[in-house]
Structures are given as C-alpha cells and as structure tokens.
Amino acid sequence: MNELHDASPYQSATTAEQFAAHLAAVRARIAAACARAGRDSNSVRLLPVSKTVTAERIRLAVAGGCTELGENKVQEALEKSIALADLPLRWVIIGHLQRNKAKFVARFASEFQALDSLELAAILQQKLQDENRTLRVLVQVNTSGEASKFGLEPATVASFIRELPAFPRLEVRGLMTLAILDGNEARVRRCFQRLRELREQLRIQIRAEGLIGIGMDELSMGMSGDFEIAIEEGATIVRVGQAIFGPRALPDSHYWPEPAAH
C-alpha cells in the first residue's frame, strides 16, 4: 500500500483551473471507456470523492465544476456541509454508517450508498420521518469475498431487498461495491461482473414479487484506479477521488477501517 502511495500517479489540484482540467480529463476517460463498451457517456455519473480534502479546497473544486461530493465519514461530511452551506451542493455518503450517526445523514445527505443492515434502514426511516426528508439509497455488496470489507454477501441481498418496501423514506435505486484492491485486473473485473449479475437477478425478483418502490438501475462501482474497468462492466456511477483531488496522505487501509471497528 505504502509503496503504491509513494509512487502515486495522481496530481494535486490547488486552483479552480486545475480542478476543471482534472474533471475534464476524468470525463474524457469515462467517455473513452463508454465508447469502447458501446455505451452512451451520459449513462455514467461521475461522483467526485472529497474525503480528507478541506472545505477551502472543495470550494475551488466547486468553482472548477463539482456539483456533488462523496464522503465516507459522516462527521467529516457534516462539518464540510456546514462550512459550504452557501454552495448548492449534493452530499453523498459512501462509507459504512454507524447507527448513532444516522440522524446526521437524515439531516443533510441526498444519497447514501452503503446500506448494509435492516437495523440501519429502520433507524434511517425514523430519522428521515423526523426531518420530513427522503434519501436515495444503494445497497452495499461485498463482491470481493474479503472479510475486511463492509457490505452484504451477494447471496443474502435477495432476502434483504424483500424487506426494504417497509422503509418508504428510503428510495432504493441499486447496488454499490468496492472491488478487490490487489490490482489484479481479472479479479477486479470479476467483482464488477458479480455486481451486475446480481442486479439482473434482483430485477427479476423485484418484478416477480412486485416489490414496491425498489429500483435496481444504479451500479456504483469503480474508483480512480479501476473506473474504466467498472464502466466496461456496466457502472452507472463511478466514485473518483484521487484522480480529481490528488493523492491522499495515508494509504487506503486508513480510510477503510476494519469491520471490527463498528
């Protein structure tokens, strides 16, 4: 991890012009991947991920063209949303959520991409009711088989989504995953394929069982290091941090705490 980080291919951006250039470069790579896959480039949404980036630098990124931001820690996202309340931004929580933080998500987030328990769904439903809000939601799936990853086992998702119509404040729209981080392209691709295959099964189930209000159009998969593979495998949302904001100070393991830290 550290070796990879030391040789980071990512450039830091510190002006609005640099952010605009990084966004344009990522968009061009998205368009090229879409062309290779015979897809319309409008079918992929670029979600910039601003974890560890200060509110001041986010301001420049917004001037450069960012309109929504993904964050993996609620507390950090909440503080930034307050500091940047004058900007018309959409906040998307993409990391594991502890139950005691659900009230914050209900208050300011537009979307939550890491739903992984019914207990959390019930708490979010209650807090969203209190706030008179709704929340777009993706179900996080562990497609890599790594014990250190959050997300539901693929085999358990069918019974999970069957329960979600009970939480009408959650607008379920699809699935999210993190691929294996070992850099082996075939294994990374397999994770993305697994998520797409699961979505097809769930679509059939949703129709067959008449599950009300549960959508399965979105596949949030792919990050700076693997988003082109994800697009080739059907991603509709790519979550890109370092290719826009530059390298992070610490290796990924620091930002993805082990599930034992629940």
Q: Which stretch binds ligand PLP (CB under 6 A): 98-106, 123-131, 193-201, 233-241?
A: 233-241
Tokens of 150: 């959050």
Identify residues 72-131 at the interface with ligand PLP (CB under 6 A): 72, 94-95
Q: Which stretch binds ligand PLP (CB under 6 A): 29-37, 53-61, 121-129, 239-247?
A: 239-247
Nearer to ligand PLP, 158 or 256 (CB): 256
C-alpha to C-alpha distance for 208 and 137, rounded to whole angstroms = 22
Residue 178 beta carbon to ligand PLP: minimum distance, rounded to whole angstroms: 6
Identify residues 28-67 at the interface with ligand PLP (CB under 6 A): 49, 51
The residue within the footprint of ligand PLP, chosen from 125, 142, 144, 224 (CB under 6 A), is 224
Q: Which stretch binds ligand PLP (CB under 6 A): 26-34, 104-112, 156-164, 223-231?
A: 223-231
Are the C-beta atoms of residues 68 and 60 closer than 8 Å to each other?
A: no
177 touches ligand PLP by CB under 6 A: no
Tokens of 167: 């939480």
Q: Which stretch binds ligand PLP (CB under 6 A): 18-26, 74-82, 83-91, 240-248?
A: 240-248
C-alpha to C-alpha distance for 210 and 206, rounded to whole angstroms = 6
Angle formed at CA 253 by CA 252 and CA 257, multiple of 5 degrees: 120
Nearer to ligand PLP, 94 or 164 (CB): 94
Residue 210 beta carbon to ligand PLP: minimum distance, rounded to whole angstroms: 32
Residue type, 156: T
C-alpha to C-alpha distance for 220 and 195, rounded to whole angstroms = 9
Residue 95 beta carbon to ligand PLP: minimum distance, rounded to whole angstroms: 5
C-alpha to C-alpha distance for 113 and 235, rounded to whole angstroms = 14
Distances 253 to 49, 196, 258 between C-alpha atoms, Å: 16, 26, 8
C-alpha to C-alpha distance for 79 and 52, rounded to whole angstroms = 12
Residue 84 beta carbon to ligand PLP: minimum distance, rounded to whole angstroms: 19
Residues whose CB falls within 8 Å of the CB of residue 125, separated by 6 or more in sequence, listed in order:
166, 167, 168, 169, 170
- Give the binding site for ligand PLP (CB under 6 A): 49, 51, 72, 94-95, 178, 223-225, 239-242, 255
